[in-house]
């Protein structure tokens, strides 16, 4: 990065009121890193959902359930294409904990069905629902 570009970025950072001081410092630190190395730092290694699921020994569906539960924070390239950071997967493997997925511990109990009376059963057997009238008795 040449000095003119760096100077323009620094000027924008100093004059923009929407940028927080912490964010401004992070951007300046990144600019200094780029200037010292002569190029942008290598991006963090990413894995596709298939590769991540294979690494964790789970199915893709389980991996997507964990993503929905907030266990992982994927990088979204498009609405359908995502990738997971290798550092997140490594940290997850080291903790050895699996998120609780499935039914909650407290399940609602179902109310037992009301027993049908003989009159209701007889009415149900003799009523034709499709035509909305009583069934004809077989001859």
Q: State pLDDT tens for residues 65-83.
A: 999 988 888 988 888 899 9
pTM value is 0.44
Based on the fold, state whether residues 32 and 68 are members of the same structural domain: no
Q: Residue 106 domain-assigned?
A: no
Q: Domain of residue 33: give its range.
A: 3-37
Which tens digits make up the pLDDT trace of 90-115?
989 888 765 554 444 555 566 666 66
Classify burial at 86, counting beta carbons within 10 Å of its beta carbon; exposed 0-12, middle 13-18, buried 19 or more: middle
Q: Residue 127 domain-assigned?
A: no
Q: H-helix or E-strand containing 47?
A: strand 46-47
pLDDT value at position 103?
A: 47
**Domains: count for the chain:** 2
């Amino acid at each position: 990065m040449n000095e003119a570009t760096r100077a323009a970025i620094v000027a924008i950072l100093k004059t923009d009121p929407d940028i927080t001081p912490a964010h401004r410092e992070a951007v300046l630190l990144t600019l200094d890193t780029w200037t010292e190395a002569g190029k942008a730092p290598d991006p963090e290694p990413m894995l596709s959902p298939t590769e991540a699921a294979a690494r964790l020994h789970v199915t893709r569906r389980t991996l997507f359930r964990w993503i929905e539960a907030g266990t992982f924070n994927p990088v979204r390239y498009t609405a359908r294409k995502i990738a997971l950071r290798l550092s997140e997967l490594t940290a997850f493997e080291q903790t050895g904990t699996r998120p609780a997925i499935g039914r909650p511990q407290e399940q609602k109990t179902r109310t037992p069905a009301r027993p049908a009376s003989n009159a209701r059963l007889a009415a149900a057997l003799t009523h034709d629902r499709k035509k909305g009238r009583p069934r004809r008795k077989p001859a």
